[in-house]
Amino acid sequence: MTNGESCNGAPGEGDFPPIVPGLFRLPEGGESEPSLLGGRCPECGGVYFPRPKYCPKCLGETAETALASRGSLYSYTVVRIKAPMGLPEPYGLGLVDLEESGLRVFGLLDPATLDLCRIGLPVRLTVAPMGTNVQGTPCLRPFFTPIPEPGEGASR
Amino acid sequence: MTGAAIIGTGLVPFGKHLDRSLVDLAGEAAYLALKDAGIKPDRVGLGYFASASAAAFMGDMTVGQNVFWEVGISRIPIVNVENACTSGSTAAYLACRAVATGQAEVALVVGAEKMFVKTMGLLNSGANELDTLLGMVAPAGFAMRAARHMQEFGTTAEQLAMVSVKNRRHAAANPAAQYRKPVTLEEVLASPMIVDPLTKLQCCPIADGAAALVVTSAGAAKVDRRAVKVKSAVYCTGGYENPQDLVRWETDYRACRQAYEEAGLGPKDLSVVECHDAFTIAEILHYEALRLCETGQGGRMVQEGHTALGGRIPVNVSGGLLSRGHPIAATGLAQIYEIVAQLRGEAGPRQVSGARVGLAHCMGGDKAADSKSCTVVVMAN
């Protein structure tokens, strides 16, 4: 799977760069979902997102670590004024509590399902072309989308 | 430590000053403060100039030196201060600490901003910051705090809007406020939605403006009957711990606690407060960080009228950022200006009767779901 396809392998979306290199990785091996990339300190074990170069506790040089792709929406809002960087209008922003690390990460929300947002909503990470980067080029952005209830379709 | 005192204040009313330069606005505020203090330029030994955007707008740096020369001050140390919304109050913090430790007898602090420029959009935390690239804008962080506060404590949209109604009502008595017309609860709730649940009238407007203070050591101020004592001046930066609790704002609580400890006072001792009401939810959260009420009770507090002029603990009787507007670096100093007026008994129709102790609280900068700075200054007459 190339860097330019969306995470479900849809063809024809062109070769889009990620909004920031090293921010996320697309599914590897048997995975079905992309992951945000945090930093893990090899000296004290601290895990951070975004990945800092140096561990804030002990200055160890951090290693890249894939974070859990799933979590729960801690809070959210919908931005209804003119969107920057070609983002959708309106667009959603939230803080998600990730499984495993417990990190509370800031991220975009799926613009197609803003009406489903509620505190506590189970969400999963996805990656797709959304908006443009600092150079004005269309790019991939990570965002969180609701996990379907059991009984609904497994993929969207 | 001998402590500091404020012996002069100046303010250029906030609004649209399209035909005036930044240096002109700042110079006027400096002039007014020096006149109010009754001192000549050659007595000032230390200067601070705050502006978040001066260098960008003027295409120059070291703008403070230009401002001070407008009022005949040169040769002395002049520090240019930028700290987002706390630029002005951080400059005041530095001045109070400097005179209290004997670095100078008299310090002049000036803050100014021009914001009515074509390219001004919503403030963000920097074009290359990850959060900005993912769509973060300044109001969104506060909107997420509002959502949590409503979820955890049942705070209502109406209670949020009441902050705007209260502060506009206060501003009717403040000639320095940009927006002085009262607004109704319905108008606030019906104004365009910016970031759910914050509507336009729940977000502070931009403004041009300037403010200034003359700060001396407490000893030198003893002969001045209008001098206001600085009981504590505190500046904390963010902790950025993860996870951040959006309601129990650790940086906010920490700065307020430190200010009370250093002043040897508590919330019950306060007569009047100016706090950073950049958005309605912000004022509610700051009631709680200041321990004016229990965590979660801020919505009830405004609803029951406790923070209105005439209430138990009036907050933002100047009209706050919501009514004055928010010329970034002038705001922190305008808050202190108001508290000084109150403690001198010179606030006219806004006067809180018998005011003895006042507090000015300010925050600025977003990072990692936290604020980058928080300042608290406690004053007494």
- Does the structure show a pLDDT above 80 at A139? yes
Which pTM was predicted? 0.95
Residue A20 CA, chain-centre distance (Å), reads 11
B70 contact partners, CB below 8 Å, separation of at least 6: B23, B24, B26, B27, B30, B31
| CA dist B224 → A1, B39, B233 (Å) | 76, 12, 21
Helix (H, G, I), strand (E, B) or coil at B120: coil
Q: Which residue of A has its CA nearest to B244?
A: A104
| Mean pLDDT on A72-87 | 97
Are the C-beta atoms of B91 and B78 separated by less than 8 Å?
no
Please say whether the beta carbons of A146 and A113 come within 8 A. yes
Using one digit for the tens of pLDDT, what is the confidence trace for B300-310?
999 999 999 99
Tally Cβ neighbours within 10 Å of residue A33. 15
Could you give the CA distance from residue B29 to residue B37 in angstroms, rounded to a whole number?
A: 12
d(CA B92, CA B258): 17
B195 vs A79, A104, A131: nearest CB: A79
Name residue B40's amino acid.
Answer: K
Tracing tokens 């300044």 back to the chain, one arrives at B138
Give A-chain residues touching B195 at CB under 8 angstroms: 77-81
Residue A88 corresponds to which tokens in the numbers above?
A: 């959708």
Which one is predicted more confidently, A150 or B169?
A: B169
The confidence score (pLDDT) of residue B217 equals: 93
Query: Which residues in chain A are closer than 8 Å to B134, comparing Cβ atoms?
Result: 19, 93, 106-108, 141
What are the tokens at A9?
A: 């392998």
Catalytic member of B17, B276, B306, B326: B326
> Does the structure show a pLDDT above 70 at A91?
yes
Residues in chain B within 8 Å Cβ distance of A103 = 242-243
Lowest mean per-residue pLDDT among A138-147, B46-55, B267-276: B46-55
Nearest chain A CA: its distance from B13 CA (Å): 29
Please give the DSSP secondary-structure letter assigned to residue B103.
S
Q: How far apart are CA B342 and CA B337, in angstroms?
A: 9
SS3 B177: coil
d(CA A55, CA A58): 6
Distance (Å, whole) CA A94 – CA A97: 10
Identify the weakest region by mean pLDDT among A14-23, A140-149, B236-245. Answer: A14-23
User: Would you call B85 a catalytic residue per the annotation?
Assistant: yes
Residue A85 has pLDDT above 90, yes or no: yes
- Total length of chain B: 381
Q: Alpha carbon of B217 to those of A8, B95, B97, B104, B381: distances in Å? A: 67, 10, 10, 8, 15
Residue B337: in which H helix or E strand, if any?
helix B328-343
CA–CA–CA angle B188, B193, B197 (5° rounding): 85
Q: Do residue B131 and residue A81 have CB atoms under 8 angstroms apart?
A: no
Percent helix, percent strand, percent coil in chain A, to nearest 5: 5, 40, 55
Q: Which helix (H) or strand (E) holds B168?
A: helix B157-171
CB B242, CB A104: distance < 8 Å:
yes
The nearest alpha carbon in chain A to B151 belongs to A119
Among B134, B136, B144, beta carbon nearest to A76 = B144
CA distance A31 to chain B (A): 24
* Confidence band, pLDDT 50/70/90 cuts, at residue B219: confident
pLDDT of residue A6: 44
Section B320-342 average pLDDT:
97
The whole-angstrom separation of Cα B110 and Cα B118 is 25
Q: Provide CB contacts within 8 A for A150, sequence distance 6+.
A: none
pLDDT at B124 over 90: no
pLDDT attached to residue A148: 83
Arithmetic mean of pLDDT over chain B? 95
| pLDDT at site B369 | 94
**Are the Cβ atoms of B147 and A75 closer than 8 angstroms?**
yes
CA distance A130 to B254: 39
**Tens of pLDDT along B238-266?**
999 999 999 999 999 999 999 999 999 99
Pairing of strands B357-367, B272-274: parallel
What ipTM, to 2 d.p.?
Answer: 0.94
Please state, in angstroms and as integers, the Cα–Cα distance from residue B286 to each residue in A151, B297, B308, B310, B373, following that order: 45, 11, 15, 20, 14
CA dist., res. B139 & res. A65, Å (int): 31
Q: Note the pLDDT of residue B120.
A: 59
| CB nearest A84 (choices: B128, B135, B192) | B135
Query: Which residues of B are less than 8 Å from A108 in CB distance?
Result: 134-135
A10 or B44: which carries more pLDDT confidence?
B44
Q: Is the pLDDT of residue B179 over 50?
A: yes
Would you place residue A149 in the very low, low, confident or very high pLDDT band (cuts 50, 70, 90)? confident
Among candidates B144, B151, B194 on the partner chain, residue whose Cβ is nearest the Cβ of A81? B194
Lowest mean pLDDT among A78-87, B63-72, B116-125, B363-372: B116-125
Residue B131 and residue A106: Cβ atoms within 8 Å? yes
pLDDT band at A156 (very low <50, low <70, confident <90, very high): very low
- Contact by Cβ (8 Å): B346, B211: no
Contact present, A39 and A65 (Cβ < 8 Å) = yes
DSSP string, B137-156: -HHHHHHHHHHHHHHHH---
Could you confirm whether B204 is annotated as catalytic?
no
Mean pLDDT, residues B150-166 taken together? 98
With contact defined as beta carbons under 8 Å apart, do B135 and B73 qualify? no
Interface of B with A (CB under 8 A): 121-122, 124, 127-128, 130-131, 133-137, 140, 143-145, 147-148, 151, 192-197, 242-244, 246, 369
The two structure tokens encoding residue B219: 């000893």
End-to-end CA distance of chain B: 19
Instruction: Reduce the DSSP state of residue B378 to 3 states and report it.
Output: strand
Which residues from B are below 8 Å from A106, CB to CB?
Answer: 131, 134, 136, 369
Q: Above 70 in pLDDT, residue A3?
A: no
